[in-house]
Amino acid sequence: MFALLLLAALPLRAGEATNAPTERTLEQAELTTMLTQVLQQDYVKERGELELRLTQPWTAKKISDEPLTVKIIDMPTIGVTPSFIVRFELRNAHQAIGTWQLPVQAHVWREAWVAHSMLKRGDALADAEIDRERRDILVLHEPLADFSADRSTLEIAEPVGIGAPLFARSIRRMPVVHRGQIVQALVEDGSLSIAMKVEVLEDGAPGQTIRARNKQSLKDIRGKVLNEQTIIVSL
């Protein structure tokens, strides 16, 4: 009996296991990384690369040394913005550790086409001095221009200043028919097709619907540009 009591009183030697869970400290850098990952996956997705910064210091907390997950509880209805408040819950495999609310600042970076010289309306995009740069799309508020390496059919649709990004509205397809030009209009009504000469009243690119005037009746019609010599009119 005395021997058993003596063993129970002896301290554990180094390396001997205990049932007490080990602890670690959750620092601000780790929390920021975890929040960034979940917001990127669930909110930003493929729009760009999220960069997040806490604008209120996080007090390091002792937690059990187990895998940790973040669950977003509340966000702005419009999602990630340049400055917002996020409410989240931290959990381990067994239970919720706690709920917190923090103000954050965010940037969403992606490659954008940027003008390196003044671009004028009607300039050929193939000749434009533009290059790719990282820009924060959260402060741009509208879609960026996106086009293939072949720019030969595109032109500048509006003036773009030096250092400004090209938006989707900044470029357009080059017109292939021009105001005052005489082209052929194919009037289609079911299986019936009639060809007539018309005067183009506005510039148009393939696929665009433009106004034209019948040379005989002098009536205005609307047709879709097919190519440099033809528009299609559907009745």
Inform me whether the pLDDT recorded for 14 exceeds 60: no
Identify the helix (H) or strand (E) that includes residue 33.
helix 28-39
pTM to 2 decimals? 0.74
Task: Tell me what pLDDT residue 21 has.
Answer: 66
Inform me whether the pLDDT recorded for 2 exceeds 60: no
CATH code of the region 182-234 = 2.30.30.760
Question: What are the residue ranges spanned by the domains of the chain?
Answer: 23-108, 110-173, 182-234
Q: How confident is the model at residue 231 (pLDDT cuts 50, 70, 90)?
A: very high
Inform me whether the pLDDT recorded for 15 exceeds 70: no
Q: What is the DSSP string of 183-200?
A: EEEEEEETTEEEEEEEEE
CATH code of the region 110-173 = 3.90.1210.10
3-state secondary structure at position 8: helix
Residue in this structure with the two tokens 């850098």, named with its chain if needed: 29
84-97 pLDDT per residue, tens: 999 999 998 888 89
Task: Tell me what pLDDT residue 35 has.
Answer: 97
Residue in this structure with the two tokens 């290059």, named with its chain if needed: 131
Task: Tell me what pLDDT residue 13 has.
Answer: 52
155-189 pLDDT per residue, tens: 999 999 999 999 999 999 999 999 999 999 998 77
Burial of residue 224 (CB within 10 Å: 0-12, 13-18, 19+) is: middle
